[in-house]
Amino acid sequence: MAKNATLHRPHMTVVLAMSADGKIADGMRSPARFTSSADRAHLEKQVALEDGVLFGAGTLRAYGTTLGVSNPQLLQLRQQRGLQTQPVQIVCSRQGKLDPQLRFFRQQVPRWLLTTATGAQHWKLQNDLVVNPFEQILIVNSLTKSLDWHDAGQQLIQLGIQRLAILGGGELVASLLEVDFIDEFWLTVCPLILGGATAPTPVEGEGFSEQLARRLELLEIERIDQEIFLHYRVGSRK
């Protein structure tokens, strides 16, 4: 808690699976279905450790749902740690243009929306709902190409979110890396080649020069069947 209070933001861990050539989806940005049951169990384990998960509107549109915690042992561990049954599912959308008919809005999980004043107004006007499916709407300033993550981080900490899993997409991860908000990566390398110049990667955006590249420290590596699980800590810029 002391570290997070000093940083004024939650501890953030990116959890993503990618092809052997570093793609998180194909060139058509179809939902990635190429992972194994071992990776899905790994993802649920990481999600279960967190107070919340954060993902972009594009990721939500691609899948239509989010991953809740269903493993009884993981649910019990959350209870023992004094956490609510499910981590908060936080959708990041600057414009607030989300389809309320997505199955996500019928899942039994707490939902928050992280958006701008314009996005919040658009969501409310488009969806004249008696019951808002978002328990919280966090309004932050919009910068030229991103959100004001320093404001967002402070709001999340004030609301009790000390740890976040970042589940994509690449633009969201890039914007958080840009402000040095990412602490760890969990990357699953899957045994296939997708290729494609337009296929998304774990970190998109404009990219970093070699001089500004984020350095990673390998914490652990595990092989399960044909998949490799890599755990990194994010270091400072070169």
Can you give the pLDDT of all 238 residues of the chain as single tens digits?
444 445 589 999 999 999 999 999 999 888 888 999 999 999 999 999 999 999 999 999 999 999 999 999 999 999 999 999 999 999 999 999 999 999 999 999 999 999 999 999 989 887 776 567 999 999 998 877 789 999 999 999 999 999 999 999 999 999 999 999 999 999 999 999 999 999 999 999 999 998 889 999 999 999 999 999 999 999 876 5
Region for 30 from its dihedrals, namely left if φ exceeds 0, alpha if ψ lies in -120 to 50, beta otherwise:
beta
Contact of 69 with 48, CB cutoff 8 Å: yes
Predicted confidence at residue 125, as pLDDT, reads 84
Region for 63 from its dihedrals, namely left if φ exceeds 0, alpha if ψ lies in -120 to 50, beta otherwise:
alpha
Predicted confidence at residue 127, as pLDDT, reads 73
Predicted confidence at residue 188, as pLDDT, reads 98
Greatest CA separation for the chain: 52
Q: Work out how many domains the chain is built from and give that number.
A: 1
**Which element (helix H / strand E) includes 119?**
helix 117-126
Work out the burial of residue 214: count CB atoms within 10 Å of its CB; fewer than 13 is exposed, 13-18 middle, 19 or more buried: middle
Contact of 26 with 194, CB cutoff 8 Å: yes
Domain containing residue 137: CATH number? 3.40.430.10
Residue 146, φ and ψ in degrees, nearest 5: -155, -170
Contact of 106 with 128, CB cutoff 8 Å: no
Predicted confidence at residue 3, as pLDDT, reads 46
Range of the domain at 13: 2-237
